[in-house]
Structure 1
């Protein structure tokens, strides 16, 4: 009898866990049969999932890498996050409206863009932790944001690069869903937004190299070298991408998350040169170099994409790797200086005007430990 009760309890726990993984809202939605039919027509969809153009794995799981990673985690690093909250500049509407085109960094990969009067949000992760659970996972370094969702100017469109928690946040989407004119995403991401209450008619999904016209801008869904997934069973079910944003006189590039690859040069040949490129430079490790660039590779990729001013992103908000939290900024600015690449280093919330040649370049993080 005791064995039966124990077995029943175990089965019940397993079923409860499965149901939780399937129905807990932050894990996202599941694509419909019609959506899946379209995805199978993509050149990036092979077998049962999306894949990179070149062989790539999130982690090189050999014994040496596994042993060294466990050793590094056990050892720890007291400098993986700042000892005090990072300073944040509040978004100044007057400064923001002053320029027809500008870039405002919200930390990590979240960006508020103004491109010839059109307002775009890119990867607006405004939540407190890069996790499906606000009380666990890597907590945000800053105590506040440059602006809460309710304080933002009218947003014309939101662009997402992929569905990882540090880019696509349930609580943020719930706040944005009735305040945005369009959600523009790579293939497979619509299911998450629809489950969270975004009306399907406001969402457009795109494959690599697809172009769309939006309020006088040309937006291009371009390749990246990464992966996707929010749960245990959805690896590769949605696509990942970078974005080209082109107006009549201004062109911007946003790399999304990506390992180094030949796609940067291809994007540069087709759409460059750019006035500015927002390039990931953090949360890296040689053991997962296929899917996140080292800072020196960031500068190389920036040159190949013909990026103009380099705006480093994917740092300054969450600890997702074992390096010192300041290392991405130190290494990418050093490499940029050696390569003759102009690098902007805005504080969180600082607005960079585009097309003026003026950009912040102070090492503000050096006074924070």
Structure 2
């Protein structure tokens, strides 16, 4: 028994040292910062919360049990048979692009948006693993990117939805921060960026329903039903969100991560209809469906938002759940067909013209 207690004590001390000094865990929210968040309806008793009382706080034993199940369950077709091929982009053509508003998908939930002469990154995560260290997670499905991070053009703005590792990546920030003009994030996420060397005057933090602008673009920080935290002792210390990106000609919605709830209809009524809705569809399970939509709910969310077409995201990047890697796209397409909802399924790196009425995307995942 003494040996067991000593081992547990050593592990706890090692964890505390690791999280205190390893930079990828990001920043902590100061008392002064917390005080400023008390004005938010989402902030209560030192933490951010959803409108509904989710997610359920797991006990230490429940957390260990869930982790054990995740790492020991054999998932048939959990990963593609080989690295996913991507469409490569010419860096000069990207830098000189001046045509219809387009997006380029990097897999999972990361995008380059080229709109109104501006270059915008959405949840850029170009790291190998969705974890604080490369040894703590499985590698992403696509080793190559459509364009090397170093060859990206000057970035006018970066938008983040929340601070989880598959969306906010330390190594990515180090690579892009010198070419980014400004960051737009939910409340608290700026603390991580500042810890990684981003100047505070280059960061705008927003609460749900707050709006800001960049040239002719309007950015709206809108609700999501999720959670936050980069280590055990700072859960819910920063806010999570979805985003509306509106130009004089286009209206785009980005869901971030979210369980299905009434906020989709509320956003659709207030800011819809949308030309394109980028909707989470992957890394789900009935055990945590309150914070990650099931594929059928993704399709319904598209209707709630009054979207002309949807693109399933949060899949084809990492294995973070116990479903096959193609289950999300198969199920959401089946439900969308039933609901008469248009779904686009581009290959990683393929041009996505936001207002293109054609849907000539292939089922590229079949057989992989």
Give CA deviations for 1:57-102 in whole Å, capped at 9, x if unaligned. Answer: 16888x9999899667644113111121011111245378253311
Tell me the secondary structure at the aligned position of residue 311 of structure 2.
strand
* Counterpart in the other structure of 2:52: 54
Q: CA deviation at 1:19?
A: 2.5
Matching of residues 241-260 of structure 1 within 5 Å = 241-260=241-260
Give CA deviations for 1:245-282 in whole Å, capped at 9, x if unaligned. Answer: 00011110000000000000000010000110100000
Tell me the secondary structure at the aligned position of residue 213 of structure 2.
strand
Rounded Cα–Cα distance in structure 2 between residues aligned with 1:331 and 1:10 = 43
Rounded Cα–Cα distance in structure 2 between residues aligned with 1:72 and 1:219 = 37
* Counterpart in the other structure of 2:182: 182
TM-score (norm: length of structure 2): 0.92
Rounded Cα–Cα distance in structure 1 between residues aligned with 2:89 and 2:145 = 9
Q: CA deviation at 1:23?
A: 2.1
Q: CA deviation at 1:32?
A: 2.9
The gaps in structure 2 that reach 5 residues or longer are: none
TM-score (norm: length of structure 1): 0.92
* Counterpart in the other structure of 2:114: 114
Rounded Cα–Cα distance in structure 1 between residues aligned with 2:47 and 2:215 = 33
Give CA deviations for 1:201-226 in whole Å, capped at 9, x if unaligned. Answer: 10010000000011210100000000
Rounded Cα–Cα distance in structure 2 between residues aligned with 1:342 and 1:11 = 54
The answer on 1:274 being equivalent to 2:291 is: no
* Counterpart in the other structure of 1:86: 84
Matching of residues 237-316 of structure 1 within 5 Å = 237-316=237-316
Matching of residues 1-369 of structure 1 within 5 Å = 14-57=12-55, 74-92=72-90, 94=93, 97=97, 99-368=99-368
Tell me the secondary structure at the aligned position of residue 367 of structure 1.
coil
Tell me the secondary structure at the aligned position of residue 162 of structure 1.
coil
RMSD value over aligned CA atoms?
Answer: 2.7
Change (3 A) 1:69 1:200: closer
Change (3 A) 1:318 1:58: farther
Change (3 A) 1:57 1:108: same
Rounded Cα–Cα distance in structure 2 between residues aligned with 1:258 and 1:313 = 12
The gaps in structure 1 that reach 5 residues or longer are: none
Q: CA deviation at 1:175?
A: 0.9
Q: CA deviation at 1:119?
A: 1.4
Rounded Cα–Cα distance in structure 2 between residues aligned with 1:297 and 1:224 = 14
Rounded Cα–Cα distance in structure 2 between residues aligned with 1:332 and 1:38 = 40
Q: CA deviation at 1:155?
A: 1.1
Tell me the secondary structure at the aligned position of residue 277 of structure 1.
strand
Give CA deviations for 1:272-313 in whole Å, capped at 9, x if unaligned. Answer: 001101000000111100000000000001110112211110
Contact 1:352–1:359 (Cα < 8 Å) also in 2: no
Q: CA deviation at 1:150?
A: 1.3
Q: Which moved more, 1:283-292 or 1:31-40?
A: 31-40
Contact 2:98–2:117 (Cα < 8 Å) also in 1: no
Change (3 A) 1:68 1:129: closer
Contact 1:184–1:205 (Cα < 8 Å) also in 2: yes
Contact 1:79–1:325 (Cα < 8 Å) also in 2: yes
Tell me the secondary structure at the aligned position of residue 135 of structure 1.
helix
Rounded Cα–Cα distance in structure 1 between residues aligned with 2:304 and 2:213 = 25
